[in-house]
Amino acid sequence: MTTAQPTVIQRLFQVTAKVEPYEVKAAVLSFLYFFFLLGSYYILRPVRDAMGTVYGVGELEVLWTYTFFFSFITAPIYGYFASKLKLSTLLPWTYGFFVINILMFYFLFENVQEDKVIAGVFYCWVSVFNLFIISVFWSFMADIFSRQQAKRIFGFVAAGGSFGAAAGPALTAVLVTVVGTNTLLLIAAAGFLITIAVVMMLEKEKSVMAATGQLQGHDYQATKLDEKLGGNPFNGFAQIMKSPYLAMIAGFILMLTWVSTILYFEQADSISKAFETREARTQAFAIVDAIVNSSAILIQLFGTSRLVQRFGVTSALILVPAIMLVAFIGIAAWPVMMVLLSVQVVRRVAEYAIARPGREMLFTIVDQESKYKAKNVIDTVVYRFGDLSSAWITSGLKALGASTAGVAIFGVIVCLVWGLIAWNLGRKYEGEAGQRAGLRAAA
């Protein structure tokens, strides 16, 4: 019997991302899913950041408080629908709900200009919404691809997001002065509608890929989407409390947000002082986003899977804390705008290209309910609690007279704790994954 030779496209995938022929369609759809998802969101992100300057950079910690409050309320609501609806229905309608919200804000902005309250509501809404859509995406990815597949494919999939996250700000920077800020919302809404169509195609491909993998003896994720998760809206919180593994992931996310928020506040303050108009600030934020995401693409395509397969998930988790430890020392020594922005770019590139795919691989070995419920709580409530707590800590340090260098020293301490958690979490994952593989082999 003659084995079919791989096509040129399949060979290209094997070279860049080590994607096997039977995985190509699912990988491509996942790439497109993340492209349109982040492309659409990153059209909204600079608009959100500009609205934050309308509300007042000095009051951003208030917005983070509201954001955490709404995240805490929204998580069990999502948990309720995740318990009652089939996943095949829940996934596309999650994005459909937010399309409706975008259209509502468009009509508000068309009728009310430069209103501080509306600006603050929009800022909080996007800050809640962005974590939900990305959390749902990676939950779905962990439900489609197995542990071994994730090591090879998640870097390639993440590159789709980086392409979208580079295209979104670039489009925003070009169009914002031509069509205005409000019309950008309609463009983002159209992108999310395309995302819904891709999700529905990917739902069908999951079962096809699993059947092929089972038939050919490949590794595959055996979960199904045409079933309800069951349970109650608060199961996600309970799962984190009961599982040391999930609790450790929550600690990792908490430290990550502390570092991110410290740098975000310093960046927002610098850009607010440098640019006067909302359009100019939107354009500046968009340019920073474009630089970050375009820089991450090559690493995700050619480096992420190779790094993880050769050195393990632990290396991916510990890389960013190590980089940021050095970076904060640099900020403490040279607390100037260009150093701050450079560090922000380096942090985000390393996080998107290495740390994010690595931490999402952690969920490939947990049960399906934890993938969608506990993960959502970690990605939204824990993440926003990190934003909230670090925002108030940073404001407190500033109120006590701490300079940018002083805040950077606090960042050094956070990175040391973060690195310790990353190391222990990575070792726990590798041990659990190896134990499960041994049990399957014995069976």
pLDDT of residue 1: 41
Q: Which residues pair with 39 in a beta bridge?
A: none
Token representation of residue 47:
């608009």
Average pLDDT over residues 227-248: 91
pLDDT at 438 over 60: no
pLDDT of residue 59: 66
Give the Cα separation of 220 and 371 in Å (integer). 16
pLDDT of residue 95: 94
* 141-186 confidence digits (pLDDT tens): 999 998 888 988 998 999 898 889 888 878 887 887 788 778 889 9
Confidence of residue 421 (pLDDT cuts 50, 70, 90): very high
Between 224 and 440, the more confident residue is 224
Between 246 and 432, the more confident residue is 246
Confidence of residue 377 (pLDDT cuts 50, 70, 90): very high
The SS3 call for residue 86 is strand
pLDDT of residue 102: 93
Pick the CATH number of 18-218+234-442 from 1.20.1250.20, 3.40.1160.10, 3.40.50.80, 3.10.20.30: 1.20.1250.20
pLDDT at 69 over 50: yes
Confidence of residue 317 (pLDDT cuts 50, 70, 90): very high
pLDDT of residue 134: 93
Burial class (CB in 10 A: 0-12, 13-18, 19+), 443: exposed
Confidence of residue 342 (pLDDT cuts 50, 70, 90): confident
pLDDT of residue 391: 74
pLDDT of residue 2: 46
The SS3 call for residue 85 is coil
Q: Where do the domains of the chain lie?
A: 18-218+234-442
- Worst-scoring range by mean pLDDT, 175-179, 189-193, 280-284, 377-381? 280-284
* 188-217 confidence digits (pLDDT tens): 999 999 999 999 999 999 988 888 777 666
Average pLDDT of the chain, as a whole number? 83
Q: How far apart are the first and last CA of the chain?
A: 30
Share of the chain above pLDDT 70, in %: 82
The torsion defined by the Cα of 278, 97, 362 and 426, in degrees rounded to 10, comes to 30
State how far Cα 363 lies from the chain centre: 14
Average pLDDT over residues 119-123: 85
